[in-house]
């Protein structure tokens, strides 16, 4: 199971960035309806087969968002 609510996550990140989905679509050179369709469909974000494999192995999947520049990958967690 994908634990994230992708639609809510994207909308929240847009609000935090002070950007609309329309402006986001323009910045990535696509249409606003396509952006909306993508965020409403978990299947297009995370491969359903991958989710099924992880569930079979006893795992749920959760996405973690890290703002660029805030995470130094050379440091050990």
Cβ–Cβ under 8 Å, residues 42 and 6: yes
Q: State the DSSP H helix or E strand holding residue 30, giving kind and residue range, or none if neither.
A: none
What is the per-residue pLDDT across 37-53, written as a single tens digit (0 to 9) for each? Answer: 888 886 667 788 888 88
Cβ–Cβ under 8 Å, residues 52 and 43: no
* Domain spans, the chain: 6-56
Q: Provide the 3-class DSSP secondary structure of residue 34.
A: helix
Query: What is the spatial distance between Cα 66 and Cα 63, in angstroms, rounded to a whole number?
Result: 10
Give the side-chain half-sphere CA count within 13 A for 46: 18
Whether the full predicted model's pTM is greater than 0.85, yes or no, is no
What is the per-residue pLDDT across 19-32, written as a single tens digit (0 to 9) for each? Answer: 999 999 999 999 99
């Amino acid at each position: 199971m994908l634990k994230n609510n992708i639609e809510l996550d994207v909308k929240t990140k847009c609000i935090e960035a002070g950007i609309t989905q329309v402006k986001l679509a323009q910045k990535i050179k696509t249409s606003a309806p396509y952006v909306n369709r993508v965020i409403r469909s978990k299947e297009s974000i995370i491969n359903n087969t991958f989710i099924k494999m992880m569930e079979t192995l006893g795992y749920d999947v959760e996405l973690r968002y890290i703002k660029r520049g805030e995470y130094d990958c050379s440091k050990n967690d």
